[in-house]
Amino acid sequence: MKLKSALTIAAMSLASASFAQEAAKVAPLEISGSVDTYFKYDFAKVPNIATSFASDQNSISIGMIDLALKKTTGKASFVGELSFGPRGQAGSLLSENGESFHIQNLYASYAFTDKFTMTAGFMGTFIGYEVISPVANFNYSTSYLFSAGPFQNAGIKGTYAFTDKVSLMVGLFDDWNVYTDVNGVSHVGAQLTVSPVEGWTAYLNVLSGKSAGAVGVGTIMDLTTSYQVTEKVKVGLNAADYTIGNDGGGYSGAALYLQNAFSPAVSLGIRGEYFSTKDKMNGAANLNVVPGESVTAVTLSANIKSGGLTFIPEVRFDNGSADMFVKSSLLPTKSASQFSLALVYAF
Amino acid sequence: MTMTVFAQDKPLSLDENGKLIYYEVVEAKGGAIDALKQRLDVFLKAQVKAKTLKIKSKAGDSIQQAGGKFAIRKTGLVLSRPSGEVLYHFYAEVREGKYRFWLTDFSFIPYERDRYGNFVPSTSIGVPLERKPGKLNAGDWDAYVKAATKDVNAFAVVFKAAMQQSSLVPPVSKAVPVISTKKW
């Protein structure tokens, strides 16, 4: 009888173990998302700093509601992520007129082996430190490097993991931020991911191609890295250079991120950034920074978390090399500052 | 062993160092030390192959040490997503006619959604699970501890079942009957 009981328990255990393995292969449909809303006040009483998303002055405004679905069956998976609201529409890419939503991610993947995966569709860009979703950013206002760089790339890419610490992605992509490339699949991109020590990951990125209407081939080189120094301290760095051929200009800059978690619920972080626009004959202004000029920005943010809710109070000071902001009298000035409060709920 | 482990999980206790621990000594009547060692090795190899455990260096002459993690999921009526993972260390030691095992060094790593819509660890250094959270996150933290307790108990059931078996016999698959249309 005892033997029978033992065998029964063992069989059930094995069944539960094999069920767990099967469950891992056919994961349930994941549903997640976020909503965000904010209040921003520029001390010049007019919208001044060219940050993405948190742009409305002296207004309790909305960001977006973001809904994401993910499903994995065996080696195949898909992600579909839609956003509704200014942050996901005009704030990101497409005109609010005629577009009732914006796709953040829409792609399918297939893992041919444990080491090699192919992905195709419309994806968040692999360039840069910050992203559109407020959930994955520490600061609510965004950096110049984020706003000037690509937000999303449609394309097909293959990723090969040489080891746990080194992997390489190579892909073909459309122009930046478009669902359809009118001049053909025009860009090639690559990302080398290196994790030298536990907690430190570095991404070396390149994306190059001629966009529709551009005067030359544009190439962006980007380094994005972060290091969890201790349980509480995290350091991040983003440096990028974008050059457009035929004297088409471009930009370069770097942003340093320092964050300290005083507790699991309360963190404080500072972002310091330098951004300049290249002085070229065919160059154009980037985010109010005219060719040959630059701007430095310091942003201090807190993250106070309760459950899925994050409260982000933030102050930001920007200082240009030339007059690129305005005072409350609308006279030009070199500096600007703003204060914002944001609520981000992730589910 | 009874079915009660499925109905009610054994809670995690605090050890002498103030760490959460699941500790159990199991009498294996008639189990020779060599046979128990072999079963432990078979279990560990199977877990390593399934990538659920990573063997660490031996903690003592006869103590096996391995590291693993439990995925913590947030589920609701229409919601299901990973919210983090609990890292742990597993120790096991066998002696003549008995063995003991314990899981401890629990630490929680929250997940965040990355730019591609995937949930990934937000940090590489976990927060010890026995640490009392502030009021703001007490509810979530209790849920993590409960989920970890459930996973630890399930792990213990599987481990003890493996230690009872002399060998793991793969299930025999029944031949699918084939209908011949040539003979009639």
Q: What is the pLDDT of residues B145-164, one digit of tens each?
A: 999 999 999 999 999 999 98
As given in the structure block, the two tokens for residue A325 are: 């902001």
Comparing C-alpha atoms, which of A136, A86, A116 is closest to residue A346?
A136
More confident residue, B86 or A51: B86
pLDDT tens, position by position, A95-133: 545 556 789 999 999 999 999 999 999 999 999 999 999
Per-chain mean pLDDT for chain A: 88
- State residue A179's pLDDT score: 87
Interface test with B, best of A263, A303, A304 (most B CBs within 10 A): A263
Is there a domain that residue A6 lies in?
no
Q: What CATH number is given to the structural domain containing A275?
A: 2.40.160.10
Q: Give yes or no for residue A47 having a pLDDT over 80.
A: yes
Is there a domain that residue A19 lies in?
no
- State residue B167's pLDDT score: 52
- State residue A162's pLDDT score: 97
Contacts of A196 in chain B (CB under 8 A): none
Instruction: Count how many domains chain B has.
Output: 1
Is there a domain that residue A15 lies in?
no
Q: What is the percent of chain A with per-residue pLDDT over 70, rounded to a whole number?
A: 89
Comparing C-alpha atoms, which of A189, A190, A186 is closest to residue A209?
A186
Is A114 part of the contact surface with chain B (CB cutoff 8 Å)?
no
Report the alpha-carbon distance of residue A81 to residue A108 in Å, rounded: 12
Helix segments in A181-295, DSSP class H: none
Q: Give yes or no for residue A19 having a pLDDT over 70.
A: no
Instruction: Count how many domains chain A has.
Output: 1
As given in the structure block, the two tokens for residue A93 are: 């890419």
Q: 298-317 in A: which are within 8 Å (CB) of B? A: 304-307
- State residue A26's pLDDT score: 63
- State residue B29's pLDDT score: 80
Report the alpha-carbon distance of residue A333 to residue A189 in Å, rounded: 39
Please answer yes or no on whether A136 and B113 come within 8 Å at the CB atom. yes
pTM of the entire structure? 0.84
Please answer yes or no on whether A265 and B133 come within 8 Å at the CB atom. yes
Is there a domain that residue B173 lies in?
no
Q: Give yes or no for residue B105 having a pLDDT over 50.
A: yes
More confident residue, A1 or A259: A259
Cα distances from B39 to residues A13, A320, B44, B48, in angstroms, run: 15, 69, 9, 14
Q: What CATH number is given to the structural domain containing B17?
A: 3.30.530.80
Please answer yes or no on whether A265 and B137 come within 8 Å at the CB atom. yes
Report the alpha-carbon distance of residue A291 to residue A282 in Å, rounded: 9
Q: B53-55 and A309-320 as β-strands: parallel, antiparallel, unpaired?
A: unpaired
Residue type at B70 in one-letter notation: F
Q: Give yes or no for residue A23 having a pLDDT over 50.
A: no
Domain of A171, in residue numbers: 25-346
Is there a domain that residue A50 lies in?
yes
Is there a domain that residue B8 lies in?
yes
Contacts of A104 in chain B (CB under 8 A): 117
- State residue B9's pLDDT score: 82
Please answer yes or no on whether A231 and B125 come within 8 Å at the CB atom. yes
pLDDT tens, position by position, A128-177: 999 999 999 999 999 999 999 999 999 999 999 999 999 999 999 999 99
Is there a domain that residue B103 lies in?
yes
- Count CA within 13 A, CB hemisphere, residue A60: 1
With bands split at pLDDT 50, 70 and 90, how would you rate the model's confidence at B31? confident
Any idea what DSSP says for residue A327?
Answer: -
Domain of B131, in residue numbers: 4-164
More confident residue, B73 or A319: A319
